Amino acid sequence: MSVARKALEMTRAATEAIVQRAETRYEAHRQEILRSTDRIFAWLMIGQWIFAIAVALIFSPYGWQGKVKTVHMHVWVALFLGAAIISLPVALAWRRPGELLTRHVIAAGQMLSSALLIHLSGGRIETHFHVFGSLAFLAFYRDWPVLVTGTVVVATEHLIRGIVWPESVYGIPNPEWWRFLEHAFWVVFCVSILIPSCRRGVRDMRVMAERGAELEALSENQWRNSSVVDRAAADTRGDR
């Protein structure tokens, strides 16, 4: 095999190895972000569940039928519906962190947690802020389709609940039929800014990984040049 051909093959092999390592670094960084965000949401959802139970206990602990005092339905709703909403996302976050399904289930669960809090607060407009905070937290994943899942779930939930039980979501019995569209508009407004931000975050991770590859390539070149110099020096010594 000629020296030129051997050198070409060495360059190809080194290039492949460096590109592969860059891809591995990028994927490892991405997985680290996905997994840590899954864990954040697992704890957040447990915290929200406890908070929802506390809200129900503080604001509507008892119901009255004449002189008969019973535990208010809201307490049971917070306890059991809340547990049902968070159980799958939390289980997936612990058992299957970093997987695509996990973060989409978490996005849906987080929006349903918002819905539960809105219901428990009697449709208070201020509790709707929870939706926007949740979208911002979902952006931690830097995976924009997760935001689409969250948007679809919250818009659908508002539409259905707005028809079936409008007081539960808007706090009034007869809102305009299009009220859910107004809420959905502001969600889309928020998401339309978060999506480019997520894409930029992914691009930055890619650039970091590629930057590392370029530096490795440079180091490889310097190593080769120094080897050539060493060989030339050895040859010179041998000639003497």
Partner 1 sequence: MTVDTNVEIRKGYDRVEVPAAGGGKRSLTRKQFETLPLRERVSYLIEGNAQFFLDGRPISASEAMRT
Task: Mark the segment that binds partner 1 (CB under 8 A) among 27-35, 171-179, 187-195, 216-224.
Answer: 216-224
Taking CB under 8 A as the rule, does residue 29 contact partner 1? no
CA atoms within 13 A on the CB side of 176: 6
Please state, in angstroms and rounded to a whole number, the distance separating the CA atoms of residues 186 and 18: 45
Nearer to partner 1, 1 or 4 (CB): 4
| Neighbour tally for 51: CB within 10 Å | 15
Q: Does 215 bind partner 1 (CB under 8 A)?
A: yes
C-beta closer to partner 1: residue 138 or 213: 213
- Any contact of residue 154 with partner 1 (CB under 8 A)? no
| Binding flag, residue 226, partner 1 (CB under 8 A) | no
213 makes contact with partner 1 (CB under 8 A): yes
Shortest Å distance, C-beta 17 to partner 1? 10
Closest separation in Å from C-beta 236 to partner 1? 22
Told to check if 205 binds partner 1 by CB under 8 A, we report no
Residues that bind partner 1 (rule: CB under 8 A) add up to a total of 20
Identity of the residue, 28 or 148, whose beta carbon is nearer to partner 1 in the bound complex: 28
Residues in contact with partner 1 by the rule CB under 8 A: 11-12, 14-16, 18-19, 22, 210, 213-218, 220-222, 224-225
